[in-house]
Amino acid sequence: MATKSHNIRIDEKVKTEAAAVFASLGLTLSDAVNVFLRKAVAEQGFPFEVKRNATESTEERRARKFKEFLAFAKENPVFEKGYKFNREECHDRAIFRR
């Protein structure tokens, strides 16, 4: 099978650590990259789940906490039935601050 060389930029520390991991499996870094690429082609995408590694924005955190609070309030009869909670009021409560 014909091969083609390609240069890529890799963080030096990551490259060293990854090479050690793959060496313990009997693979070179080049072998591991080829395994990854073959699997990506077979899967038609990343062969594992890829997520953003970002923290929630303040607004996203407030919305999540508000939903958690509403779910909690629905499950606990302590809260009066007719009381309407609004987002700002709930955010002002200490339970929503972390």
Tell me the pLDDT of the chain (98 aa) as tens digits.
788 888 999 999 999 999 999 999 999 999 999 999 999 999 999 888 877 666 777 788 788 888 888 887 777 666 655 556 566 655 555 444 44
DSSP string over 29-63: HHHHHHHHHHHHHHHTS-SS------PPPHHHHHH
The pLDDT value recorded for residue 79 is 62
Helices (H), strands (E): how many in the chain? 4, 0
Total number of domains in the chain: 2
Per the structure, the complete domain to which residue 29 belongs is given by 12-43
Residues 34, 35, 39, CA angle at the centre, nearest 5°?
115
The pLDDT value recorded for residue 98 is 45
The pLDDT value recorded for residue 73 is 74
- 29 in Cβ contact with 22 (< 8 Å): yes
Kindly report the backbone phi and psi dihedral angles of residue 57, in degrees, each rounded to the nearest multiple of 5, phi listed first.
-75, 165
Residue 72 in any domain: the answer is: yes
pTM: 0.50
In this structure, are 62 and 92 located in the same domain? Answer: yes
Instruction: Show Cβ contacts of residue 79 under 8 Å, excluding neighbours closer than 6 positions.
Output: 73
Residue 78 in any domain: the answer is: yes
The pLDDT value recorded for residue 77 is 64
The pLDDT value recorded for residue 50 is 77
In this structure, are 62 and 34 located in the same domain? Answer: no
- Give per-residue burial for 67-84: e unless 16+ CB within 10 Å, then b: eebeeeeeeeeeeeeeee
Residue 19 in any domain: the answer is: yes
The pLDDT value recorded for residue 2 is 86
Residue 3 in any domain: the answer is: no
The pLDDT value recorded for residue 94 is 46
Paired tokens of 5: 């060389």
Residue 39 in any domain: the answer is: yes
